[in-house]
């Protein structure tokens, strides 16, 4: 399961979560720091990535286009990187199940 963190999340999440999500990356790591959401969407589709974002635009894209790619929506407001990492760790089992469900396109995480 490969996660791709959007620009609105810290690139530090890659290191903080590498033990449980070893194939995660950040859009900055792959040269897509200022790429449009549709461009990131297409890359995630091509590379079989799950987009992780606070951006509602990805929620709308997943609603309109369906999966793949799948999208995880982080709904924590203005939270620290440490809190986002903690949430993703706490929900690892749920994220794994979401990845395996063929019908699901969007997973909101409060």
| CA separation for the pair 26, 11 (Å, rounded) | 6
Cβ neighbours for 10, distance < 8 A, ≥ 6 positions apart: 26, 81, 84
Each residue of 19-49: pLDDT tens digit? 999 999 999 999 999 999 999 999 999 999 9
β-partners of residue 25 are 4
Q: Which of 110, 75, 79 is nearest to 10 (CA)?
A: 79
**Where residue 78 falls among pLDDT bands split at 50, 70, 90?**
confident
Per the structure block, which two tokens stand in for 2?
């490969």
SS3 47: helix
Per the structure block, which two tokens stand in for 32?
């897509």
């Amino acid at each position: 399961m490969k996660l791709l963190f959007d620009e609105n999340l810290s690139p530090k999440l890659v290191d903080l979560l590498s033990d449980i999500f070893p194939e995660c990356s950040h859009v900055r790591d792959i040269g897509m720091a200022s790429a449009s959401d549709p461009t990131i969407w297409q890359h995630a589709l091509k590379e079989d990535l799950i987009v992780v974002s606070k951006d509602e635009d990805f929620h709308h894209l997943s609603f309109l286009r369906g999966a793949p790619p799948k999208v995880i929506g982080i709904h924590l407001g203005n939270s620290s990187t440490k809190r986002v990492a903690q949430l993703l760790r706490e929900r690892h089992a749920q994220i794994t199940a979401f990845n395996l469900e063929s019908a699901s396109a969007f997973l909101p995480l409060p």
